[in-house]
Homo-oligomer: A and B are copies of this chain.
């Protein structure tokens, strides 16, 4: 029995490793288009910023590790150009055919590039990062325009700003960070201004030249690498990514999909969503790998939890904003609370918490949190509450930890939940 995994980064290697653990007798082959596997692509902005010194620092495991320790064959430089599911074969660019019994499709996503140019960059692979680093070194650009106000766009804007460039961000919507939320956008815009990063919202950029910048970084969204499998007969969902069932099997029997190429169940809406993130890829890969090896595991879904650092500010969100909730048929109620992360005498910074709940069911729907170091932990509590379909009232009565060095006696999250419960009454 041979398992072929297409894609050698987060989802693919999680799938291969899990399958190996569950079935020591399986033959496992990973086909990776690029030259490098298992690197933390999310660290690339920090490579540009200088926090990470070389791409090698981002590599988690080597092919040799997978081959020797996990008996997983890694083939880099192998681009799949077609899938012939009737024959259970994938076709490589070299013309070679690779037979499979089970297939895990973890081909990721690719950046949408509205235009190209010698000074136009994206930041999706190690190769992209190297090209940008070379340009920064050789050409010493002084101005940069970032196209896109999502996570990568804003991380890259602050990274380039940290390198001393004058930076502007151009975003085609009125709200930032893929969350339809004016409150969050206003806060983030304020922080960008403090970093002296120019922000242009609701601006469609037609060409690189129109930006008049030495360097243009495009982070204007991704597209799921789903076409080849769709050509082989797999269904796409309404998001354009691969449709999968709760076991992450595509509509082609024995073919599983995981990571940025596939949809995932959203635990708040109960409907498929496409929110490409590395954390989701790792978890989906584990489930897809297990099921490809014969297990029957269910992927419990995503809440769209994310965090990004913008000029020292941690900006996190999970679940739905009010606007998103309204479109999904909820009657959202929203509160915003600002409080200290720690007692005054521990020099606590302020944290701002927005909570959203459904008026009739009192069910928690989402949150956005901005602040200093306690933000990740607090958004994770909300993500956990969302997974448990918790009501605002239960969130308010959680038994959270407290000691003066770590927070105030009543955690700001509880204060916010108490206010939310009051507004719902």
Contact = CB atoms under 8 A, between A and B. Distances in A.
A103 B380 CA distance: 38
A280 B42 contact: no
With a 10 A CB-CB cut-off, give which of A279, A384, A397 has the most chain B CB atoms: A384
B42 A404 contact: yes
A401 B380 contact: yes
A40 B399 contact: no
Nearest to A277: B402
A381 interface: yes
Q: Is the interface of A mostly helix, strand, loop or mixed?
A: mixed
A29 interface: no
Contacts of A344: 57
A157 interface: no
A252 interface: no
Interface string A294-333: 0000011111111111000010101000000000000000
Contacts of A10: 409
Given A282-B410, A380-B398, A383-B399, 5 more contacts: A53-B345, A309-B406, A381-B381, A387-B398, A388-B390
Interface string A42-77: 110010000111000110000000000000000000
A397 B285 CA distance: 12
Interface residues of A, number: 71
A385 B384 contact: yes
Interface string A357-387: 0000000000000000111111111011111
A53 B381 CA distance: 33
One complex includes copies of this chain to the number of: 2
A346 interface: yes
Contacts of A388: 384-385, 387-388, 390
Interface of A: 10, 40, 42-43, 46, 51-53, 57-58, 151, 155, 267, 277-280, 282-283, 286, 299-309, 314, 316, 318, 343-346, 373-381, 383-388, 390, 394, 397-407, 409-411, 414, 418
Contact of A377 (B151, B306, B343, B377): B377
A337 B51 CA distance: 27
Nearest to A408: B40
Given A307-B403, A345-B57, A376-B374, A398 B384 contact: yes
A174 B271 CA distance: 52
Contact of A409 (B282, B318, B376, B387): B282
Contacts of A43: 343, 345, 404
With a 10 A CB-CB cut-off, give which of A346, A397, A407, A411 has the most chain B CB atoms: A397
A418 B299 CA distance: 13
Contact of A406 (B52, B307, B407): B307
B376 A407 contact: yes
A333 to B, nearest CB: 19
Given A282-B410, A374-B376, A40 B381 contact: no
A380 B377 contact: yes
A279 B409 contact: yes
A108 to B, nearest CB: 14
With a 10 A CB-CB cut-off, give which of A40, A308, A376, A410 has the most chain B CB atoms: A376
A289 to B, nearest CB: 12
Contact of A399 (B57, B267, B405): B267
B346 A399 contact: no
B40 A343 contact: yes
Contacts of A57: 344-345
Contacts of A155: 403
A151 B309 CA distance: 34
A81 to B, nearest CB: 29
5 contacts: A308-B403, A380-B398, A381-B384, A384-B388, A384-B390
Contacts of A306: 401-403
Given A46-B345, A52-B345, A314 B406 contact: yes
